Chains A and B, each alone.
Chain A
Amino acid sequence: MLPFIVPGWRKTGWNAVGGRRASGIFAFPSIIQSVAVADGVLKEELQPMPDSKDLKQREEAHWAKTSRLMFTHLGVWFFFGFIIHMFVVPLNKITIPILNFPLGFYMAAQGSLIVFVVMLFMFAKQQDKIDREFGFAEED
């Protein structure tokens, strides 16, 4: 009897904790949430399918790769958006030959902008490649 009661007690105990949390200050959004689910026509095909384990793994690998790409691009963005301009004073001592721009000024006026544009085209390609690799890309 005891082994049966103890897990059961524990289970209700956990539920009680969850229940108390839900009825505290955190309660109101969860009430509204049910309204939200009802108010659009939602996608039904979310129930676990037979190959759901495989799908789960693919989803995780896809998201890991996507996140990595995100951080790489954010790194480049941060470097050309901020870091490089912190060195504007020494960079301004260098003049670009022929065009006569001081390099620090040029980076803020054009250089970083060109990097951003190129980056975005590259990102669109790279992310699409990742989506295709895991079979999550849209049909062409």
Chain B
Amino acid sequence: MATQSSGGGSDFLNNLGRVYGIYTGGFLAFVILLAVLEQVGVPNKILGYLFVFFTLAVYAIIGVLSRTAQVSEYYVAGRSVPALYNGMATGADWMSAASFVGMAGTLFLLGYDGLAWVLGWTGGFVLVSILIGPYLRKFGAYTVPDFLAFRYGGNFARGLGVLVLVACSFTYVTAQIYGTGLIASRFLGMPFELAVFAGLVGILVCSMLGGMRAVTWTQVAQYIVLIIAYLTPIIILSTKKYGFPIPELTYGQAISDIVAREQQMLANGLATVASLKPHISPFINYSPLNFFAIILCMMVGTASLPHILMRYFTTPSVREARQSVAWSLLFIFLLYFSAPAYAAFSKLEVYTNIIGSDVSALKPWIFNWGELGLIQICGKNAGSIDAIIAACKAIAGHPGVVRLQDFVINTDVIVLSTPEIAGLPYVISGLVAAGGLAAALSTADGLLLAIANALSHDVYYKMIDPNAPTVRRLFIARILLLIVAVVAAATAATKPGDILAMVGWAFSLAMAGNFPALVMGVWWKRATATGAVCGIIAGFGLCLFYLVTTRYFPGAGVQYFGMTSLLNPVTGAPIVDIAKAMALPNAMEAFPTLAHPLANKVGWFGLTNIACGMLGAPLGFAVIYVVSLLGKEPSKEMQAYVDDIRKPRGRTVLEEKTI
């Protein structure tokens, strides 16, 4: 039965507060212990190893303790996860390495325009709760394709659902494993390829044995680590600078200081109008169209991503599914409303203490990151003072002080370097690394499980062998999890160049492929199987076509599909001269590198390809509507099922065999 749980499990469920309270206290005590060790002279490298291994060991222990042989435990954690804890698990599932490490850096670089990502990655939960999540919980599916198959007449719709799921989750999981490798290699000094496979082991111990149940309880533990790690440095920084420990309130002062400093830098010749992007001015990096298109695509994509939707299959009731979405957003909000504070504090630090300072008087933390090629000054990696002095001398007419246009920083550095900027002990840096690792691992877990479940439940069990016994289903599920994980890690180890952009694409693909069919499936009884199948193909197809053409076949896009150059958001001028670029010998090259003059720079209506869901989803809705009306009304039984999904009371529509 759906709500069944093993004897040991319910004991655990009754004591969740105590268990995680002790865990949090233990973690804090561990951090303090390491701080003491640092004071007595234990080297940084050992502290870093202790951090990573301790946290990984805890996740592994939770993973092993949560092993299960029950199908409903494996796929939906026995539908017994209380709203609050499911909210935490969703928070960890949601916040990836990109959110933890990259978000603040994006806000640093883009200023106001970067807030499109903050808005887009939070507002989507409103759609999850209102339009989709609780209804899928009532339906009683194990996976999102399960719902599509039932509502839209069988395995063809199921196959499309699996296709969309794999398309939007695989690149995403590859990016997470890549992030794991990056953090492990930076803080432990391992070679990147080795670190990727070490991270893989960390991911697999969490999910192999216990499926959703194990992933849920490790994700709660990972959320606690990641939020402590994210907030600690910035709270200390805020207290030091403004005497008040709530950085989200004090960074308003930092912003007004930044605005004042921007004017000052222009007046002193430390910045040119071209190099300075005012922090609070909108629509400098994105045109208004693209700004709002990105917000919409990220929001709707949130409500369509299978690894997020399936988290709400695990709550005990529909009511708790709704509450759980609210808790999820609260826990996610804690990180996202702090990210702009990181950006503001770092920017103020850079603008006041680096820009305008003498080239020979730079602070030592800069060189730690410069050595890794993450900070450049005067066009060269800031590896040492001598290197920078030489590089700046080589520039004609350089005044000997760092100007804004001389300084380039990688977005990943902002969060990772904040402890050093604030002059905090190394233990805080180690904490941040552990938090970043937790963020990457937890998201990777959720995504891997989503892919492996779709393959084992939807493809193997539902489409290939519906009579498979439980033992074999779970065996297949675990083997597929392993295979998908190894393939993703092998892909990540090759350091594919497009990987980060692909995370953005995942949202648009999910939006175009899943959103219209899911929403219409619940909210419009008249939606037919044919309509939905055509709608998914049309919407997903158009979005995929736009992505692939603008990125990999831009010449063909211009030549055959009437694409034009994207526009500069400030001047409104085209960013590439299409006629000139098309005259180049490599204009029609397929799969060009990112440096190609046309790659990612052409499109329709000046729409960036990250927001291709803007084209696909409306088409999907329109096709479902028109084709459904052309066909026969769905059967009375199907309409009754839809009525049933809409009422929380009663049994789930789909009851899985669990024996």
Give chain A interface residues in 112-128, CB to chain B under 8 Å. Answer: 112-114, 116-117, 119-121, 123-124, 127-128
Q: In this assembly, does B255 line the interface, its C-beta being within 8 Å of a C-beta of chain A? A: yes
Most chain B CB neighbours (cut-off 10 Å) among A18, A37, A108: A108
| Closest beta carbon of chain A to B335's beta carbon, Å | 11
Known: A46-B644, A108-B115. Contact between A77 and B123, CB under 8 A? yes
Which of A35, A81, A105, A136 interacts with B648 by CB under 8 Å?
A136
Instruction: Return the chain A residue nearest B254 by Cβ.
Output: A100
CA distance A89 to B647 in the complex (A): 44
Report whether B647 and A136 are in contact in the complex, using a CB–CB cutoff of 8 Å: yes
Known: A35-B154, A105-B255, A113-B118. Contact between A81 and B295, CB under 8 A? yes
Residues of the A chain whose Cβ atoms lie less than 8 Å from the Cβ of B130: 70, 73-74, 77, 123
CA distance A31 to B156 in the complex (A): 11
Q: In this assembly, does B657 line the interface, its C-beta being within 8 Å of a C-beta of chain A? A: yes
Give chain A interface residues in 86-104, CB to chain B under 8 Å. Answer: 86, 88-89, 92, 95-96, 99-102, 104
CA distance A86 to B282 in the complex (A): 10
CA distance A67 to B522 in the complex (A): 11
Number of A-B contacts (CB under 8 A): 203
CA distance A39 to B288 in the complex (A): 48
Known: A128-B322, A138-B318, A138-B649. Contact between A100 and B256, CB under 8 A? yes
Q: In this assembly, does B317 line the interface, its C-beta being within 8 Å of a C-beta of chain A? A: yes
| Closest beta carbon of chain B to A114's beta carbon, Å | 8
How many of A's residues come within 8 Å of B, CB to CB?
Answer: 68
Q: In this assembly, does A25 line the interface, its C-beta being within 8 Å of a C-beta of chain B? A: yes
Report whether B340 and A109 are in contact in the complex, using a CB–CB cutoff of 8 Å: yes
Report whether A29 and B156 are in contact in the complex, using a CB–CB cutoff of 8 Å: yes
Report whether A62 and B647 are in contact in the complex, using a CB–CB cutoff of 8 Å: yes
Residues of the B chain whose Cβ atoms lie less than 8 Å from the Cβ of A95: 256
CA distance A21 to B631 in the complex (A): 7
Instruction: Return the chain B residue nearest A58 by Cβ.
Output: B647
Known: A113-B336, A124-B323. Contact between A100 and B252, CB under 8 A? yes
Known: A62-B647, A120-B325, A131-B647. Contact between A42 and B653, CB under 8 A? yes
| Closest beta carbon of chain A to B301's beta carbon, Å | 14
Beyond A26-B631, A113-B122, 16 additional pairs, beta carbon < 8 A: A41-B656, A41-B657, A45-B650, A46-B637, A85-B291, A88-B112, A92-B282, A117-B329, A117-B333, A120-B325, A123-B130, A128-B319, A131-B649, A136-B649, A137-B649, A138-B649
List A residues at the B interface (Cβ < 8 Å). 18, 21-22, 25-26, 28-33, 35-37, 39-43, 45-46, 59, 62-63, 66-67, 70, 73-74, 77, 80-82, 85-86, 88-89, 92, 95-96, 99-102, 104-106, 108-110, 112-114, 116-117, 119-121, 123-124, 127-128, 131, 135-139
A-B contacts, 29 of them at CB < 8 A, read A26-B631, A29-B153, A29-B157, A29-B528, A32-B157, A36-B150, A36-B153, A40-B150, A40-B655, A41-B657, A43-B652, A59-B647, A67-B523, A81-B299, A85-B291, A92-B282, A100-B252, A100-B253, A102-B255, A105-B112, A108-B115, A113-B122, A116-B126, A120-B125, A123-B326, A124-B325, A128-B322, A137-B649, A138-B648
